[in-house]
Amino acid sequence: MAKQKSKFICQSCGYESPKWMGKCPGCGEWNTMSEEVIKQTGKHRIAFAHTQSTVMSKPSSINHIETIQEPRIKTSLKEFNRVLGSGIVKGSLVLIGGDPGIGKSTLLLQVSSQLANQHYDVLYISGEESVKQTKIRADRLGIQAEKLYVLAETDLEFISKSIDEMKPAFVVIDSIQTIYRNDITSAPGSVSQVRECTAELMRIAKTNGIAIFIVGHVTKEGSIAGPRILEHMVDTVLYFEGERHHTYRILRAVKNRFGSTNEIGIFEMKENGLEEVINPSEIFLEERLKGASGSTVVASMEGTRPVLVEIQALIAPTSFGNPRRMATGVDHNRVSLLMAVLEKRIGLLLQNQDAYVKVAGGVKLNEPAIDLAIAISIVSSFKDQPTQATDVFIGEVGLTGEVRRVSRIDQRVQEAAKLGFKRVILPKANVEGWQAPKGIKLIGVENVLEAIQFALGG
């Protein structure tokens, strides 16, 4: 007779407790402890043991281990290949998260169609839609693929049998929160179900060499629902970002065992599905208003790609005792720090001014090289003096007001020259040691005051 054990698990962080508590000690959330009954049968461990070799392996020197470089499988979406690290790795488990309606299912259905047209067997398993509903969405996207198979199922046992019988090259699970195991009594989407189902899918991917994509729902805070262990178990974690009411979407890698974790792919949502944006810098700058104060352009690195983005600032007298500091697309604390540097080192009276800083286009920037552009935007808006439309600002700002060097300056300047910019104001330490493109002037500065003089004084 199988023993039954009951315990309470936090549905936000996965903290386990033998008794119910109103507040989770792990994450501090209230009313997230849920009772789950777990049968301790040991079947899962036995089944997993049979899949392993019966011969005990021995440690090997890393210098004597032979590796085989398997070619990655590429799709027709170059942006998708870039985020994954130049293609899909066989036997990998990829988790894709994003807000509801952002386009996760659309993206994976398009990728599945492209892989099926390359003569790979693809199994698309939907736990949220019927087969006919998936077909309606495929017709809307203009998808025709003979080797793309659709299955509407939520029981992991039947899903595993279907994969063993069909032996596809790729599998899509939409979504992991709808899949359940019969030997776990908790509801689908709970911590235990999500964790155990993901572990079983990982075993299937590794033992059979099948690349599996799973869709994960997100919480109201923007993180993938369920415990953080879900992100630790998979090979790659991708976040699909963007506003539902805007057409542009950003696919960002936050974890990747087979590539860079800073890559982004930019797509545009159209009637026939997602289309990749080849030159995102033009998209982010196409609506820039010339001659407006508080606007600057920065060359930011997203992985291996330089992207030119407009940073806007609005400084206005406050009507309250404490001035407001709001930031969209950049860290709020970074804006406060730069305003303190401008007030202390430059002498600007900003303590009675409201400050609003925004990155145009819905992009999120978090590298230090954007400091100088933010500072110049704030000064430009405060003095109501516009910067030159052909200037680009690059540099990290220290607490003493110095402008520090940044990495990959040559790629940033080349991207600015490609789009017709004439001047780049950058750290003086980055000027020497490389050849700048023709038609662009480099201005090296040592501190913020010099940068302000060049930006607003000509």
Does 428 belong to an annotated binding site?
no
From residue 106, how far is each of 143, 223, 247 by CA, in Å?
A: 11, 20, 14
Does 104 belong to an annotated binding site?
yes
Contact assessment for residue 404 and residue 435, using Cβ atoms and an 8 Å cutoff: no
Residue 112 bridge partners (DSSP): none
Measure the CA–CA gap between 262 and 126, rounded to whole angstroms: 30
The amino acid present at 249, given as its one-letter code, is: R
Does 139 belong to an annotated binding site?
no
Does 101 belong to an annotated binding site?
yes
Helix H or strand E encompassing 139: helix 131-140
Measure the CA–CA gap between 391 and 385, rounded to whole angstroms: 14
Closest CA to 229 of 259, 197, 261, 205: 197
Beta carbons within 10 angstroms of residue 400's beta carbon: 10
Does 105 belong to an annotated binding site?
yes
Closest CA to 75 of 88, 94, 57: 88
Which SS3 state, helix, strand or coil, does residue 184 take?
strand
CB burial readout 66-88, b (16+ within 10 A) else e: eeeeeebbbbebebbbbbbbeeb
Enumerate the known binding-site residues: 98-105
Enumerate the known binding-site residues for ATP: 98-105
